[in-house]
Amino acid sequence: MAIIPPIPPIGGDFKLPALTNETKPGADTGTGGFGKLLANQIDKLSQSQNVASDQAQQLATGQAKDINGVVVAVEKASLELQLAVQLRNKGVEAYQELFRMQV
């Protein structure tokens, strides 16, 4: 019987946050909660868009040496923006559905 070696991980060092939390749900932990998380993610999206824009500008002016890096940065920024738009759409749909509920 042959032993199959484990499959190595494909991507980077992505880790899920721990699901166990000693604080009670809804307790104020001083971290800012959902609002701060949302603001941080919007800042990261903005930074990604700025990096892609800068690299595209460098490519257009002939200053970029790594064309593949520019393409990857632009596509990454595009996918991140599409994800953010879809999450916003789902959030708006959920809000509208709650509004339509009869009490």
Q: What is the pLDDT of residues 5-64, one digit of tens each?
A: 666 555 555 555 565 555 555 555 556 788 899 899 999 999 999 999 999 999 999 998
Nearest to 82 by CA among 40, 43, 34, 49: 49
Answer positive or negative: Cα dihedral of 60, 62, 68, 69: negative
Task: Give the mean model confidence (pLDDT) for residues 64-85.
Answer: 94
Q: pTM for this one?
A: 0.63
Radius of gyration for the alpha carbons in the chain, expressed in angstroms and rounded: 21
pLDDT of residue 20: 57
Q: Are 41 and 81 in contact (CB under 8 A)?
A: no
Nearest to 51 by CA among 38, 63, 69, 36: 69
Q: Are 79 and 86 in contact (CB under 8 A)?
A: no
Residue 96 has pLDDT above 90, yes or no: yes
